[in-house]
């Protein structure tokens, strides 16, 4: 992967725009990490230990954690959410903390579901502390997320709570669909079914992150809708890039082994698109992937075919379309001052993700 933008933002990049995106990520993290620590510190010591390890806050984490820190994408979205409606940053802290707690719950539980033994270059929490401890730690975090929004002092707290509920419902639905698709033959999974799954699994929480600060501030519904739509599309793009990195990424950067999705039968977009474009006369990618788990010795052949079919480029183009759609949603509403440019900067920054 080159270090240039995977897809354009539809606007010329100005000097320093990338830096703005990085700055937003840093500020989002700085806003959310303190209340996140407070939430974790409230837990039973054994649960707090699991969460601290999972978040890379334990003493042993230093060498790997430094590389993997500052991935609080959702916190940056929460920050832009309040900036988009001129609301105070304290609402971004509430929204970002709740969303991040839900995100961490989903990572803890998804790693169990997906049987992923590695995260951020070391053992996943369940592989380190046991499945039971990781299940319970996730349960502990979702309650903290609910409590964070429910107890918020904000004009739109009630609507925000409803928002969080629906978001987690959609995430569970998306994750259930993801698991269900694993057992399907590749040819049965259309790109639109993939998109529905990704919209639940990843898009819902991105959409919530982008909207929740504005909801807490009781912002006008059209702006909230635009923010949610933008966040949701960005989330789908993010998920597609995750799929791409899972096949062609650098495991030293992603922190998880390349090809695990492939072996496990995950219906990632590059595969779905490969099956869609190749001729249906048998012995294509779809047939190669019929056995789950995929034998390791078939991986090179699958990768060769994906290359020949241009699946990576097709997937990246799909991600670019979702990004363009996100920015178009934002262009449909009036945002104060430089905030529209900040959105572009963040999107630009995310689109160059390599981990």
Q: State the residues that interact with a copy of itself by CB under 8 A.
A: 43-47, 105, 109, 112-115, 131-133, 135-136, 138-140, 142-143, 146-147, 150-151, 161-162, 165, 168-169, 172-173, 175-177, 179-180
> At its nearest, how many Å lie between a copy of itself and the CB of residue 118?
17
Give the start-end residues of each E strand in the chain: 118-119, 122-123
Closer to a copy of itself by CB, 173 or 331: give it. 173
Q: Give the integer Cα–Cα distance in Å for 158 and 271.
A: 41
Closer to a copy of itself by CB, 115 or 221: give it. 115
> At its nearest, how many Å lie between a copy of itself and the CB of residue 132?
3
Q: Give the integer Cα–Cα distance in Å for 312 and 297.
A: 21
Closer to a copy of itself by CB, 16 or 132: give it. 132
Closer to a copy of itself by CB, 7 or 129: give it. 129
> At its nearest, how many Å lie between a copy of itself and the CB of residue 147?
5
Closer to a copy of itself by CB, 160 or 315: give it. 160
Assess contact for 292 and 182: CB atoms under 8 A. Answer: yes
Give the start-end residues of each E strand in 192-284: none
Please report the DSSP string for 66-89 in residue order.
HHH----HHHHHHHHHHHHTT--H
> At its nearest, how many Å lie between a copy of itself and the CB of residue 89?
25
Q: Give the integer Cα–Cα distance in Å for 55 and 5.
A: 28
Assess contact for 141 and 104: CB atoms under 8 A. Answer: yes
DSSP state of 4: S
Closer to a copy of itself by CB, 89 or 114: give it. 114
Bridge-based pairing of strands 118-119 and 122-123 is antiparallel
> At its nearest, how many Å lie between a copy of itself and the CB of residue 288?
25
> At its nearest, how many Å lie between a copy of itself and the CB of residue 94?
15
């Amino acid at each position: 992967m080159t270090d240039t933008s995977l897809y354009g933002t539809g606007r010329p990049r100005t000097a320093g725009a990338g830096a703005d995106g990085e700055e937003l990520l840093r500020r989002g993290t700085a806003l959310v990490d303190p209340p996140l620590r407070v939430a974790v510190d409230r837990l039973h010591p054994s649960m707090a230990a699991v969460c601290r390890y999972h978040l890379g806050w334990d003493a042993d984490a230093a060498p790997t954690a430094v590389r993997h820190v500052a991935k609080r994408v959702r916190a940056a979205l929460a920050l832009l959410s309040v900036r988009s409606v001129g609301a105070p940053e304290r609402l971004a802290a509430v929204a970002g903390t709740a969303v991040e707690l839900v995100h961490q719950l989903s990572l803890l539980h998804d790693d169990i579901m997906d049987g992923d033994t590695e995260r951020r270059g070391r053992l996943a929490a369940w592989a380190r502390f046991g499945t039971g401890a990781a299940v319970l730690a996730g349960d502990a975090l979702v309650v903290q997320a609910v409590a964070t929004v429910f107890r918020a002092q904000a004009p739109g707290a009630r609507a925000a709570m409803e928002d969080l509920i629906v978001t987690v419902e959609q995430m569970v639905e998306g994750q259930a669909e993801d698991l269900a698709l694993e057992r399907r033959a590749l040819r049965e999974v259309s790109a639109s079914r993939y998109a529905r799954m990704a919209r639940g699994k990843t898009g819902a929480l991105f959409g919530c992150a982008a909207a929740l600060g504005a909801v807490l501030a009781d912002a006008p519904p059209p702006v909230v809708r635009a923010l949610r739509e933008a966040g949701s599309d960005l989330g789908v793009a993010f998920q597609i890039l995750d799929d791409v990195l899972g096949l062609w990424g650098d495991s030293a950067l992603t922190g998880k082994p390349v090809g695990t999705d492939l072996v496990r039968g995950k219906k990632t977009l590059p595969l779905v698109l490969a099956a869609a474009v190749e001729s249906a006369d048998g012995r294509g990618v779809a047939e190669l992937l019929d056995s789950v788990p995929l034998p390791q010795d078939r991986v090179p052949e699958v990768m060769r075919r994906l290359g020949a079919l241009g699946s990576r480029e097709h997937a990246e183009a799909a991600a670019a379309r979702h990004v363009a759609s996100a920015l178009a949603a934002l262009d449909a509403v009036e945002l104060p001052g430089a905030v529209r440019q900040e959105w572009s900067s963040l999107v630009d920054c995310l689109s160059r993700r390599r981990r």
